[in-house]
Amino acid sequence: MDNINNLRAVILAAGKGTRMKSSTPKVLHKIFGLTLIERVINQVLRVEGIEKIFVVIGHGADMVQECLDKSYDKETIKTVLQTEQKGTADAVFRAYNDLENFDGNVLILCGDTPLLDEKTLSDFLEYHNSKQADLTVMSALLDNPAGYGRIIRKQDKSLEKIVEQKDASDEQKTVNEVNAGVYCFRWKKIKQAFFEISTNNSQGEYYLTDVIEWAVKQGLNTQAYILENSQKMLGINSKEQLSEAFKILNEEKLNELHEKGITIYDDKSTFISPETEIEEDTIIYPNVYIEGTNHFGKYNIIGPNTTIYGNVTTDDNVKITQSQVSDLHAGKNTTIGPFSHIRDGVKLAEKVRVGNFVEVKKSTIESHTNCAHLSYIGDAAIGSDVNIGAGTITANYNAITKEKSKTILKNGVKVGSNSVLVAPVTVEENANIAAGTIVTENIPSEALAITRSHLRIIADWVIEKKRLFLKK
């Protein structure tokens, strides 16, 4: 008997997606910062027992391959190429050489179904195994099944066949159970079908639905599993459906957060990715968009008017207001905004203040340090108890060498307003930099650095200028 505990998956991602009306391959369109194919793969990887995933690529293969190479280990995710679009069964057959001697179940699904989650897939596989099925199809009950392939069952409720809309009789069209496009094959029992099904159809293609008819003729155990939530089967074939999936994922996430004790003042203007975790008693104000993977601690305040682009973690009591943030860790009691821009790997310790119109990039800032106004901090390591005056710039980029250099401000440094620190430069502990200073050399501890022209005051200058003007 086959080993049902062995599990591999084939994800179909070769289609062009003509109705998307885009030069980007369909599976590379994004929802909350993740491509459709990444969303599907991530859920499959969470299914217990999954050994390997084969992704069938075709249209835009190089682009899809590049996306997968950036995100996944090639030992776990392997791509196979379908050079011509010859149908769903042909797509699965592209992985045949890798699966030929496999002993176990093969899960088959499409790369454009971002709502399918780990629980749905696990329940489907559990049903397949509990029925000791050789082939199981995921189905759904729809109020309006028009356009979908109908699930036709035998008297014993097992699966007999799937009939496409154009081929269905009037009686079959009344069936509201439809094919959801997810399959599980007991591979050793089913693999021969790929050599025996034909292209005897209007499109001249090989279809997975023909595999079902083959299995029934062989007397194999064929089943259909009904989805509890038919929304999960949504495939993305247009920008409208992409928007619909975005809204569904967002609604699910907001409902989850409400139940967890998160205050969200305006669901209609709040958008939070499924991958974001938020601890209790955090408040989300209106006009907040959060994508990617993030983790926010307790008693945070996020918004209003805030955009977070992923890889953000915060401790407790962090406030982010009217700002754009990504790639950040913020320690407890830290305040960001309004109108701050933080990006590219920033670490803020506890009780740090990054204020209005401050940009911080690729820098670390230690505890009790303030950078409150109108500054750019890039490629810097800033100690604790540092005060950075308004208008301070770290000049980190050499336009000739195209290199970026580091600015180091050690504990207790005080930087006056409108100062420029030309990197590479180090300012030692408790040194002071006077307002308007351009720092081009290292500054020792406890020292004052000042570059300032002599101030001249010319008495009655305005009166004299007016007198000369009136003479003319």
Cβ within 8 Å of residue 62, ≥6 positions away? none
Instruction: List the Cα angle 261/265/270 in 5-degree steps.
Output: 95
Classify burial at 72, counting beta carbons within 10 Å of its beta carbon; exposed 0-12, middle 13-18, buried 19 or more: middle
DSSP string, 343-391: ESSEEE-TT-EEEEEEEEES-EE-TT-EEEEEEEEESEEE-SS-EE-TT
Neighbours of 344 (CB within 10 A): 14
Ramachandran class of 376: left when φ > 0, alpha when ψ lies in -120 to 50, beta otherwise: beta
Residue 393 and residue 377: Cα distance in Å, rounded? 6
Q: Terminal CA-to-CA distance of the chain, rounded, Å?
A: 109
Determine whether 329 is an active site residue: no
CB atoms within 10 A of CB 282: 23
DSSP-based three-state secondary structure for 322: coil
448 phi and psi angles, rounded to 5 deg? -110, 130
Catalytic choice (295, 329, 373, 454):
373
Half-sphere exposure of 115 (CA within 13 A, CB side): 23
3-class SS of residue 167: helix
Three-class DSSP labels, 73-95: CCCCEEEEECCCCCCHHHHHHCC
CA distance 121 to 183: 10
And the tokens for 312? 């953000």
Structure tokens at 393: 């710039």
Question: Any idea which residues carry the catalytic annotation?
Answer: 373
